Amino acid sequence: MAFASWCGSAAALAAARWLSTSIVRSLEGSLAPVSCLAEGGGPGECTHADTPCSAHAFWERLQGTITSTLESVSVEDLMKEAQPA
pLDDT of residue 3: 38
For the stretch 54-66, pLDDT in tens is 888 898 899 999 9
Domain span at residue 26?
A: 3-82
For the stretch 16-48, pLDDT in tens is 666 778 888 888 888 888 888 877 666 556 666
pLDDT of residue 6: 41
More confident residue, 40 or 82: 82
Q: Cα-Cα-Cα-Cα dihedral of 54, 21, 73, 8, to 10°?
A: 180
| 3 state SS of 14 | helix
Query: Looking at the DSSP assignment, which residues form a beta bridge with residue 19?
Result: 74
* Number of compact structural domains in the chain: 1
Classify residue 41 by burial, with Cβ atoms within 10 Å: 0-12, 13-18, 19+: middle
Q: Could you give phi then psi for residue 43, rounded to 5 degrees?
A: -55, -30
